[in-house]
Structure 1
Amino acid sequence: MLLYSAIQIDQIREAVDTASGGNTPENPNNYDPKKLWRVIYPFLIAIPVVIGVITAFMSFVAWKLHDEFAWTIYKHISADLRMKRRYLIFQIYIALLKFDFFFFLGFTIQFLVILLTKNDIEFILTIVVIPVTILILLAASWFTRRENKIGASFVIILYFGGLSYFLFKLVRMYHGDKVSFYLIARRSLTIFAIITVILLIITIGVAIQCMLNFDKGLKQHVNRRKPTDPEDKHQMQDFNSGTNQINPPPRMEID
């Protein structure tokens, strides 16, 4: 979002200049482009600044939360450094899947809204790719949690297919007979495509590392379990509704 908010400054400037081209005495647009730019420019600068500050603050909070949950991780994973490293790789992989979803969806939506027409076959194919991508990412998480080597291997092959798709789009935006077709949003699409390619390469590497960690005892830690610690059981009971509370035994009265 920080990169996108910085890119949109030049895009909005180009839009203002383009709109001012029709501002003639015979057909006025009823606005001065220079005056309009002076009004909106401070807001366009403030957007990436605010996003950057909030991102830095959220990074600090996330670091503090990691320290708070370190004890919980220790209780479930134990003090085995190798097991903790495997669990960390698994967590990184799940986080990468979420980032992949965001950037792929961002690229696809821009592609649909800005570039394609409804009569184009590529429009229909791009629409179909969205739910398929969601299913692939969900399957990647499911196969990794169950340590299914065949399924995880198939997902990695699909990653290479997605990588080829984005590389093809990058080349197509700058070479070929459809270069002018992409000029409207080529800058933002390029940023999203490059970031997605980098994330896919990292995701493939981490996915292979997760496969190498299969059958080494991590499966029982990543799957959901009932709390075995008495303290955790007590916390679970505190969140239960009032209908599940245990009534105290009746008292005996002595006349």
Structure 2
Amino acid sequence: MYMPSTLWTWAFFLVALLQAIVSLALEAFVFGEFQSSLKGAALGPNPPSGALTIPTYLAIFIFGFVYQMVLVWDALRLKNTIQVIGICIYNLGMMVYAAVEMDQVKDAVRQLGDGVNIDRGTWTYLEPCLIAAPCVIALGTVLLSIIAWKLYQEFAWTIYKHISADLRLKRRYLTYQIYIALLKFDFFFFLGFTVQFLVIVAAGGETYEFALTIAALPITIALLFLAAYLVRRESYLGQAFIIVLYFAGMAYFIFKLIRMYDGSALSMEYVPARRPLTTFAVLTLLLLVGTIATAGVCMRNFGKGLRPHIQTRKVPDVDEGKYVAQADPYYPSAQQHQLGAVPSRMTID
């Protein structure tokens, strides 16, 4: 549970925590008011899809901010500047999602029929909170970005001590950090897309696609952990297999985007959730493109001396000193490496 206790690390952590509390409070208020305003068919056993809009957004925001806090703690503990920068970009994505929610709720109220399945004036009452939500996240993004720059300067010397002054090795380590950070963000956006698909689109019937999506969830999570394990083990065959799966994932999201906009009767099921699903699908596709490119560079770097440096999760502090490492069968020279034992763990770090 170690986390560096400098001023800027605590500032980054506290800003992220305060943003999460305020944003979730706003979302909880909107959820409570929206649910209390429903009536008629919206309270029946098979409610219109518009009635599921706010519960789905609330679920995504709760998971999104809880997951962000895990990433913040993890980045500060590992002194991972790439992940710190990634969190700022992630925050920007959450701001876009909050902005999309405003139009989505307005459409949901219109679909439910103002005064029919929902109390009249609900949209007017909820609008100020829905405007405030992206504004809070925008302010958080600005503050986190400023602190991230300070952390970049603070962590630079620690990374230098960890990797040494070898510029080529530092570039390889940077690529590895980018790849691991991308895997963590891939996890959130894939899961966010899938949750919305299951709740809004597939809730109306037990189709084969619904069952396949449910089955894909644990498989995808396991594969992301496997991807992190294989890159640390520097397995060429395993890395090639993972890259093929990334392309399969891209094909899946492209298929979903085409289906949502092809004008068929089936595409009409996606209308209530089209904007948020499109947002998550496009962001996930962009992340997958970056993940594939970075995975290829990581594979090209296999066998070039990086492995002893990435076999431990914790980056040592500058004042921790040096101690003798255990032998790595792939890199005997690592026996006297300052990082100490180099255990192999199947975790995304």
TM-score above 0.5:
yes
Quick one: distance in 2 between partners of 1:18 and 1:12?
10
> 2:112 aligned to 13, 19, 40, which one?
19
Unmatched 5+ stretches in structure 2: 1-93, 323-349
Q: SS state of the match for residue 272, structure 2?
A: coil
> 1:195 aligned to 283, 290, 300, which one?
283
- Structure 1 residues 21 and 48: CA distance shift in structure 2, 3 A: closer
Q: Determine the structure 1 residue equivalent to 2:126.
A: 40
Q: Determine the structure 1 residue equivalent to 2:176.
A: 90
Q: Is residue 2:299 matched to residue 1:211?
A: yes
What per-residue deviation string (whole Å, max 9, x for no partner) do you get for residues 60-90 of structure 1?
A: 2222222212111111110111111111111
Map 1:117-136; keep pairs closer than 5 Å: 117=203, 119-136=206-223
Quick one: distance in 2 between partners of 1:230 and 1:124?
51
Q: Is residue 2:196 matched to residue 1:103?
A: no
Quick one: distance in 2 between partners of 1:7 and 1:107?
14
Quick one: distance in 2 between partners of 1:226 and 1:18?
51
Structure 1 position 139, deviation (Å): 0.9
Map 1:65-84; keep pairs closer than 5 Å: 65-84=151-170
Quick one: distance in 2 between partners of 1:101 and 1:168?
19
On the 8 A contact 1:86/1:213 being kept in 2, the answer is yes
- Structure 1 residues 226 and 105: CA distance shift in structure 2, 3 A: closer
Structure 2 residue identity aligned to 1:221 = H
Map 1:107-186; keep pairs closer than 5 Å: 107-117=193-203, 119-175=206-262, 176-186=264-274
Q: Which has the larger radius of gyration?
A: 1
Q: Is residue 2:99 matched to residue 1:6?
A: yes
Structure 1 position 51, deviation (Å): 0.5
- Structure 1 residues 47 and 97: CA distance shift in structure 2, 3 A: same
On the 8 A contact 1:227/1:233 being kept in 2, the answer is no
On the 8 A contact 2:162/2:315 being kept in 1, the answer is no
Q: CA RMSD in A?
A: 2.2
What per-residue deviation string (whole Å, max 9, x for no partner) do you get for residues 180-208 of structure 1?
A: 11111011101111111111011100100
Structure 1 residue identity aligned to 2:104 = Q
Quick one: distance in 1 between partners of 2:293 and 2:305?
21
Structure 1 position 224, deviation (Å): 1.1
Structure 1 residue identity aligned to 2:181 = A
Runs of 4+ in structure 1 deviating by more than 6 angstroms, as ranges, are 225-230
Q: SS state of the match for residue 183, structure 1?
A: helix
Number of equivalenced pairs: 227
What per-residue deviation string (whole Å, max 9, x for no partner) do you get for residues 92-127 of structure 1?
A: 001100111110000000000011145212111101
On the 8 A contact 2:193/2:280 being kept in 1, the answer is yes
Unmatched 5+ stretches in structure 1: 235-255
- Structure 1 residues 153 and 227: CA distance shift in structure 2, 3 A: closer
Q: SS state of the match for residue 14, structure 1?
A: helix
Q: SS state of the match for residue 223, structure 1?
A: coil
Structure 1 position 4, deviation (Å): 1.1
- Structure 1 residues 202 and 183: CA distance shift in structure 2, 3 A: same
Percent of aligned positions with the same letter in both sequences? 52
- Structure 1 residues 128 and 228: CA distance shift in structure 2, 3 A: closer
Greater Cα offset, 216-225 or 155-164: 216-225
Structure 1 position 15, deviation (Å): 2.1
